Amino acid sequence: MDLLLKGGRVYRSGSFENEDVVISDGVVIDVDKFPSSGHSSVVVDCSNKIIVPGLADVHVHFREPGFSYKETIYTGTMAAARGGYTAVCTMPNLDPAPVDKTTLDAQLDLIKSDGRVKVYPFGAITSDQSGRGRLSAMEEMAPYVAGFSDDGKGVQDEALMEEAMLKAKSLGKVISAHCEDESLLDGGYIHKGEYALKNGHRGICSESEWKQVERDIQLARKTGCAYHVCHVSTGESVELIRAAKKDGVDITCETAPHYLILCDEDLQEDGRFKMNPPLRSREDRQALIEGIQDGTVDMIATDHAPHSAAEKAGGLSGSAFGVVGLETAFPMLYRYLVAEEVISPEKLIELMAVRPRQRFGIRGSEIGAGVSADLAVFDINSRQTVRPSEFCTKGRSTPFEGMESQGKCVLTISEGNIVWNTLSF
């Protein structure tokens, strides 16, 4: 089926233009080359809509193999499609964890059979994904992975991290680091700030994050490794990364929608407000916003981390860490950052589609002629309330539940296939 996406505003090279997009046999073709008569094509009315490169999320947890009661490759990629994503990178805290080619294959087989959008797994950094001990079989996994990460844990041993960076550099891969110094944790589970103090909760200090960012920057400088910081949540981390970039260190970072929209003043006694790193202070949130405005923060990833209802029913102290995010990221960021004029819509696409693809070598950062169609269409005027019961993900826990959002994904095309569609054509 040939599609003519008509009347939309198309994101191209950093700006929106009024243009039609023609997709023939799953491939974007030049409008000029499209036969105007004697050709059957389906016209899709995209007026008042934007057409953007498929969003790319470099930090998701799809739980398979090992924890399919929380999420599967199928439900995770359906959630991605519904959110406008056509590429995701999965974290390796699985069972078995991808630590060599054999264990990675278990995940790659599932991705091949069940994935609805492109899935690029991370391989583990350490041999048991614990952040300690010895390195995984990075070399044999390298051709098949987005990069290497021990997400869920920080690599505690400095010499081991240096070794990992040297290896990643030799393989041309990015190290994507969950930065957390375990010696500073002290049993905390929400931000060590006013809310924790007032309500008798154990806090996670900001230092546990930025101390390890600081250490890793020195190692990245020394080794020349392409280094990426996961889910930055503190103002101190933003400042360290800003300075490192000025210094020429090959460093990028992501933050997540909840750190940009909420802070610890929004906490409620409910597991849906619990994730790691935690919601930080109002000042931290402001520092992150300034970080995205000046380019210090390169991209927004969701850290989509579904759990069962029972696992999230233990309040702030007893619930598992992690919230879902793929289906709310764009509409929440559009509502609270773009509609509030904190950033432009072009900037949002750069943060959610362009920069993640560029950094992790995922093609499709431009809607270009001759390549398979990877794009999403959003109705940016549509306002709706976040209702977890409508989610495709198995996870239901989100701090955005009940909040108003703006911008709804109406069509997602991944590698030429329609994977999400609410339009009638």
Nearer to Zn ion, 52 or 124 (CB): 124
Q: Pick the closer one to Zn ion by CB: 151 or 311.
A: 151
Cβ-in-10-Å burial (0-12, 13-18, 19+) of 416 comes to middle
- The answer to whether 128 is a known catalytic residue is no
Give Cβ neighbours of residue 93 (< 8 Å, ≥ 6 apart).
Answer: 61, 129, 151, 152
Cβ 160 to Zn ion shortest distance, Å: 18
Beta-strand pair 85-90/55-60: parallel
Given the rule CB under 5 A, which residues bind Zn ion?
A: 151, 178
Q: How far is the CB of 241 from Zn ion (least distance, A)?
A: 16
Whole-angstrom distance, CA of residue 58 vs CA of residue 73: 15
Q: Is residue 172 packed enough to be buried (19+ CB in 10 Å), middle (13-18) or exposed (0-12)?
A: exposed
Beta strands in 258-304 (DSSP E): 299-300
Nearest to Zn ion of 178, 215 (CB atom): 178
Q: Could you tell me where the beta strands, DSSP code E, fall in 158-236? A: 174-177, 190-191, 203-204, 227-229
> Among 150, 151, 303, 374, which one carries the catalytic annotation?
303
Rounded to a whole number of angstroms, the minimum distance from the CB of residue 207 to Zn ion is 17
Q: How far is the CB of 97 from Zn ion (least distance, A)?
A: 14
Q: Are 250 and 223 in contact (CB under 8 A)?
A: no
State the Cα–Cα distance between residues 59 and 151, nearest whole angstrom: 9
Q: Which is nearer to Zn ion, 305 or 349 (CB)?
A: 305
Distance of alpha carbon 31 from alpha carbon 266, whole angstroms: 48
Any idea which residue has 């991808």 for tokens? 98
- In the complex with Zn ion, the residue whose CB is nearer, 82 or 178, is 178
The residue among 230 and 251 lying less far from Zn ion, judged by its C-beta, is 230
Quickly count: other Cβ atoms within 10 Å of residue 1's Cβ. 11
- Shortest approach of Zn ion to residue 103 CB, angstroms? 20
When CB distances to Zn ion are compared, the closest residue is 178
The smaller minimum CB distance to Zn ion, of residues 26 and 278, is found at: 278
Contacts of 102 (CB under 8 A, 6+ apart): none
Cα 299 from Cα 81, distance rounded (Å): 19
Q: How far is CA 329 from CA 32, 351, 394, 405, in A?
A: 35, 12, 16, 9
Closest approach, Cβ 120 to Zn ion, in A, equals 17
Exposed e or buried b per residue across 318-355, where buried means at least 16 C-beta atoms within 10 angstroms of its C-beta: ebbbbbbbbbbbbbbbbbbbbeeeebebbbbbbbbbbb
Least distance (Å) from Zn ion to the CB of residue 298?
17
Q: Are 103 and 96 spatial neighbours (Cβ–Cβ below 8 Å)?
A: yes
Q: Is the CB of 151 or the CB of 209 nearer to Zn ion?
A: 151
Q: Is 218 left (phi over 0), alpha (psi -120 to 50) or beta?
A: alpha
Least separation in angstroms between CB 176 and Zn ion = 9
Task: Tell me the C-alpha distance between 268 and 314, whole Å.
Answer: 13
Nearest to 333 by CA among 238, 388, 257, 272: 257
DSSP reduced 3-state for 201: coil
Supply the residues annotated as catalytic.
Answer: 303
